[in-house]
Amino acid sequence: MDSILVRGGAELNGTIPISGAKNACLALMPAALLSDEPLTLTNAPRLSDIRTMTVLLESLGCEVARLQAGRVLVVGTERISNHTADYDIVRKMRASILVLGPMLARDGHAVVSLPGGCAIGARPVDLHLKGLEALGATLDLRDGYVHAEARGGLKGAVFEFPIVSVGGTENLLMAATLAKGTTVLKNAAREPEIVDLAECLRRMGARIEGDGTSEIIIEGVERLSGATHPVVADRIELGTYMLAPAIAGGRVELSGGRRDLVAAFCDKLEEAGVEIEETRSGLTVTRRNGRIRATDVVTAPHPGFPTDLQAQMMALLATADGVSHLEERIFENRFMHAPELARMGAEIDVQGGTARVTGVERLRGAPVMATDLRASVSLILAGLAAEGETRVSRVYHLDRGYEHVEEKLSACGARIERIGEAAE
C-alpha cells in the first residue's frame, strides 16, 4: 500500500491549480441517467471516487467515455439495462445512492443497495427515502437493498427536510425533474454543488428555481435532453491548499479558486492571521512571520464552515498561539485525525463533538495513519510544518479525493513524495 513521506520545514511559493469538484461530479454523473442523450462533463477531476461512479453507471447500462485523459466525461444512457446498484460497488462509496432518484424518475423502478455505515458516523439515507416516498414511490427494504417503485411515474410534492442533507437534496432534485407537477424542497441544502447540479439539469431542459436558497422549486418536464456542463471548482480542495502556505509559510496562488465558494472558511483563516487576496485568476494566500492566532470553529451546512475542512483546520490550529475549540455539528465521530495529530505533538482534547486544541510552538514528524479522506490530508498539511519526517500510511483514502497531491505541493517547494509498495 502506498504511503506519503513529507519532510517538513520548507516554505511554499508558487501556484496550485484547483480541479473540478469531486462531490459535484459525483452528483452530475448520475444525472445522465435522466436522459437518453449523452451528458458531457468538462473539468472533471481524475479521482478514484469518479472511477467508482463510472463502474457503477456502466453496471446500469451507461456508456462512459473518458476524453482528454479523463478531464472530460461523456455519459450516455440510451437505456438503463440493469436497474440494480450492487452492494459490491455501493459499499465503496455512499454517493452511489444518487442513482436511485434518477432511475426511479426515468423508468419507475430501481433497486439500490443500502450504503451501510462508514468511518465518520452512522450516515443513514432515511431522508433520501422519505423524500422519494413523498414523491409517490413505494419502498421496500429487503436483504440490504431498497426496492423502489413508482410505476405510474413520480408525482410532484412538498417535502421539508428535517435536517439539511446535501445528498438528499441532490437525489430529490434529480427525481423531481421528471415528476408530474411541481415539487417544493424545503430546508434544502445550499452548497455550491447543489447549484452546479441545478445548473446542469437546467441545461438538460429541467425547470428549477431557488437553488442556492433553502427552498427549491422544480416544475416537472416530460423529458430531458443531453447537455455539456463544466464541473464547478472544488471548494474543499481549494480550502485544503489554502491551508498549505498558512501552515508552512510562504505565498501560494490557487488558480481557479473563488472566495464565494469558501467565504466562511476565509473569514476564519483571516481571523487566524492569514492574508487572502482575490486575483484575476484565483486567490492568493500569504503567511509571513509570527504564530497563527487561535480561533474557534463550528461546522455547519453551507454557507457555514464546511465539515470537510475541519480536520485540515485542526492541523493549522495545532500550532496556533492559544487555545482553539473546534465543534463538529454535521457528523459524529469525525475527530479520528486528532489522535494521529497528537502523535506529532499536537495537544488535543476531544469531548463529545468538540475538540479543544492547545497550540504548540512546533509539531514533530512521526509515522501516522490516514483514517478517512479529509483526515489523511490534514496529516500531510501538519507534516509540511513539522520538524523532521512524517510518513502517512493508508493513503488510498487520499486518492479518493485529491488529484496528484504530491505534484501540486512539490511544485510549490514542498518536500513530499509517494512511496509505492514495491519501494517499502
Residues designated catalytic: 118
What x/- string results for residues 219 through 258 when contact with ligand UD1 is judged by CB under 6 A? ----------------------------------------
DSSP codes of every residue in 135-197 = TT-EEEEETTEEEEE-TT--B--EEE-SS--HHHHHHHHHHHHTSBSEEEEES----HHHHHH
Q: Within 13 Å, how many C-alpha atoms sit on residue 92's CB side?
A: 16
SS3 232: coil
Return the residues of window 330-359 that contact ligand UD1 according to CB under 6 A: 330-331
Under the binding rule (CB under 6 A), the answer on residue 126 touching ligand UD1 is: yes
State the nearest-atom distance from the C-beta of 165 to ligand UD1, in Å: 3
Return the residues of window 268-297 that contact ligand UD1 according to CB under 6 A: none
C-alpha grid cell for residue 167? 445528498
Choosing from 28, 44, 166, 379, the residue that interacts with ligand UD1 (CB under 6 A) is 166
C-beta separation of 357 from 328 below 8 A: no
Beta carbon nearer to ligand UD1, 287 or 400: 400
Q: Which helix (H) or strand (E) holds 40?
A: strand 39-42
Beta carbon nearer to ligand UD1, 302 or 408: 302
Q: Chain-centre distance of CA 192, in angstroms?
A: 11
Under the binding rule (CB under 6 A), the answer on residue 50 touching ligand UD1 is: no
Beta carbon nearer to ligand UD1, 1 or 163: 163
Return the number of other C-beta atoms located less than 10 Å from residue 268's C-beta: 21
Choosing from 45, 102, 167, 249, the residue that interacts with ligand UD1 (CB under 6 A) is 167
Q: Judged by CB under 6 A, how many residues of this single chain contact ligand UD1?
A: 20
* Residues facing residue 167 across a β-bridge: none
State the nearest-atom distance from the C-beta of 259 to ligand UD1, in Å: 19
Under the binding rule (CB under 6 A), the answer on residue 160 touching ligand UD1 is: no
C-beta separation of 93 from 113 below 8 A: no
Return the residues of window 131-150 that contact ligand UD1 according to CB under 6 A: none
Under the binding rule (CB under 6 A), the answer on residue 216 touching ligand UD1 is: no
- Regarding beta strands 250-255 and 63-67, do their DSSP bridges make them parallel or antiparallel, or are they unpaired? unpaired
Choosing from 43, 96, 165, 378, the residue that interacts with ligand UD1 (CB under 6 A) is 165
Beta carbon nearer to ligand UD1, 284 or 378: 378
What x/- string results for residues 297 through 326 when contact with ligand UD1 is judged by CB under 6 A? ----------xx------------------
Under the binding rule (CB under 6 A), the answer on residue 51 touching ligand UD1 is: no
Choosing from 28, 100, 111, 128, the residue that interacts with ligand UD1 (CB under 6 A) is 128
Q: What share of the chain is helix, strand, coil (3-state, %, to 5)?
A: 35, 30, 35
Under the binding rule (CB under 6 A), the answer on residue 95 touching ligand UD1 is: yes
* Residues facing residue 368 across a β-bridge: 392
Alpha-carbon distance of 7 to 321, in angstroms, equals 23
C-beta separation of 26 from 53 below 8 A: yes
Under the binding rule (CB under 6 A), the answer on residue 123 touching ligand UD1 is: yes
Q: How much is the CA Rg of the chain, to the nearest whole Å?
A: 22
Alpha-carbon distance of 419 to 70, in angstroms, equals 24
Alpha-carbon distance of 424 to 409, in angstroms, equals 22
CA angle at residue 302 from 300 to 307, to 5 degrees?
45
Give the binding range for ligand UD1 (CB under 6 A) out of 124-132, 205-213, 259-267, 289-297.
Answer: 124-132
Residue for grid cell 475549540: 325
Number of residues in the chain: 424
- Sign of the alpha-carbon torsion through 1, 20, 223, 134: positive
C-beta separation of 355 from 349 below 8 A: yes
Under the binding rule (CB under 6 A), the answer on residue 101 touching ligand UD1 is: no
Beta carbon nearer to ligand UD1, 128 or 397: 128
Under the binding rule (CB under 6 A), the answer on residue 100 touching ligand UD1 is: no
State the nearest-atom distance from the C-beta of 58 to ligand UD1, in Å: 19
Choosing from 4, 85, 125, 385, the residue that interacts with ligand UD1 (CB under 6 A) is 125
Give the interface with ligand UD1 as residue ranges (CB under 6 A).
23, 26, 94-95, 121, 123-128, 163, 165-168, 307-308, 330-331
